[in-house]
Chain A
């Protein structure tokens, strides 16, 4: 039986932490995304007319949104659980009547909420630079929520695993960001010469970016079914890993 009051307490506490750092949390991604639109959308995009019938500036919107979603979801959730470990406040969580369900819904729910707020801000910012449409808005919302939840779960695992701030930053900076850049954020993989177009398919982020792009423009480099299936599989794996973490107390209980 889930303890909803505890869940809500964790969720609100995390959002309160977010509110305290709201300036940095919002200004930084908005500024970064704006720069991407200026550099890639206006400067470079001016020389590329359309990709698959979509204006280049609009084409990169889903990719940039995915870039922010992945990095923010992972970072928010990893900091959310790592900070109590770092400050010693984890004792309270461990001694409270909360299990895996309350902890996940609280921490991951809050991290995903932050990501969704950011996604809305990014999409609003994008409107200032380019005209874009969303072909399947409901599907887009569900997909964004799914990705935010999945990478918040990944962030939670990283936060439990990390024993220092360096490790905490390692995966988002050294793995996620490069893979997102190489995952078709700024180009269609059809534009890559052989064999790179085939090699690119080994990058899991390609499926995420293209899944979101499909919800925007109804077309993508890979099947939406495959994208959705892989995202759900990733989410399931993360939940399973976290369940094991809680059952064994790995890096949480001594």
Chain B
């Protein structure tokens, strides 16, 4: 039996209570595996940024432990921080400085020896090489965000936090960043990203965690989560109004709309069962002589799962 690899980040019982009494993190347990892309999803104020801040040293935790690279972060913070990179949500740098100098500064700040070749490599990978001599304030918003990423990569971190990396950037740049994050994974960098864009998590993440009101509601493989919590939804537009749900459909999770013109199937489990049942419903309708003029079917996205989870949590609270 292969030994279970040690998590690159192991958070236990992490709690953060702000002086005003706001509990931003509530006994958070989280394990991040080496080399994975982990997406942390949650609505505004869920505790995503506080969690990142607690690991990166911007937030003082109230209780709990954080182990990074197998060592207690509170005791071995110097060595751990040298191996962690952070791309914050907000643009924050000396706007009057040049791109190349700022990226070089970040490398030095994290204790790495100057390396012009490495800086060039990072800048080229982010299409910033041609802008290296420009003052940051003169760059576009998207380019400024790239500078933030370059600064975070300048010291070759093994664990990279991306806090809403594509917030406010256009679709093209977002896709470009996804490619870059994918390239980082190929280099063995572990990436933890928070995002509002569930499409982003769906596109890139290996595992997904859902956090709300400071509590981690669920952590799972993205595909497993889709399978476990995924649903199929199908709408049959009927040619003629039905007075009631046909008897042949009683064994299926099907409802008839109030106006009697639409049949709605909501079921399945993300394993293909839903699609099969939709086909069976269609066959039953045809065999019963019930004519439908259109069929609209969709599989639930990570977004649906996320919204459902957060809503259920809200109801339970």
Contact = CB atoms under 8 A, between A and B. Distances in A.
Interface of A: 1, 3, 5-6, 8-10, 12-13, 16-17, 20, 83-84, 87-99, 249, 253-254
Contact of B53 (A8, A84, A254): A254
A96 to B, nearest CB: 5
A99 to B, nearest CB: 7
A90 B53 CA distance: 12
16 contacts: A12-B105, A17-B94, A20-B97, A84-B92, A87-B92, A88-B88, A92-B151, A94-B58, A95-B57, A96-B111, A99-B78, A249-B60, A253-B57, A253-B58, A254-B18, A254-B59
Q: Which of B57, B79, B96 has the most CB of A within 10 A?
A: B57
Contacts of A96: 81, 109-111
A95 B94 contact: no
Nearest to A249: B60
A17 B105 CA distance: 12
A17 to B, nearest CB: 7
Interface of B: 18, 53, 56-60, 77-82, 84, 86, 88, 90-97, 101, 105-113, 151
Contacts of B105: 9, 12-13
Contacts of B93: 87-89, 92
B112 A5 contact: yes
B92 A90 contact: yes
Contacts of A90: 92
A83 B88 CA distance: 17
A99 B111 CA distance: 12
The dominant DSSP class at the A interface is: helix
Nearest to B24: A254
Contacts of A99: 78
Contacts of B113: 5
B78 A95 contact: no
Contact of A89 (B18, B94, B111): B94
Which 5 pairs show the lowest CB-CB distances between chains A and B?
Answer: A88-B92, A9-B108, A95-B56, A97-B81, A97-B78
Nearest to A5: B111
B9 to A, nearest CB: 14
Nearest to A90: B92
The dominant DSSP class at the B interface is: loop
A87 B112 contact: no
A249 to B, nearest CB: 5
Contacts of B78: 1, 3, 97, 99
Given A89-B93, A91-B92, A253-B57, A97 B77 contact: yes
Contacts of B92: 84, 87-92
A94 B109 CA distance: 11
A6 B108 contact: yes
B14 to A, nearest CB: 15
Contacts of B81: 95-97
A225 to B, nearest CB: 40
Contacts of B60: 249, 253-254
A92 B106 contact: yes
Contacts of A94: 56-58
A97 B56 CA distance: 10
A89 B80 CA distance: 20
A88 B91 contact: yes
Nearest to B86: A95
A97 B88 contact: no
A92 B94 CA distance: 11
A17 B18 CA distance: 35
Contacts of B82: 97
A52 to B, nearest CB: 47
Nearest to A95: B56
Contacts of B77: 97
A254 B58 contact: yes
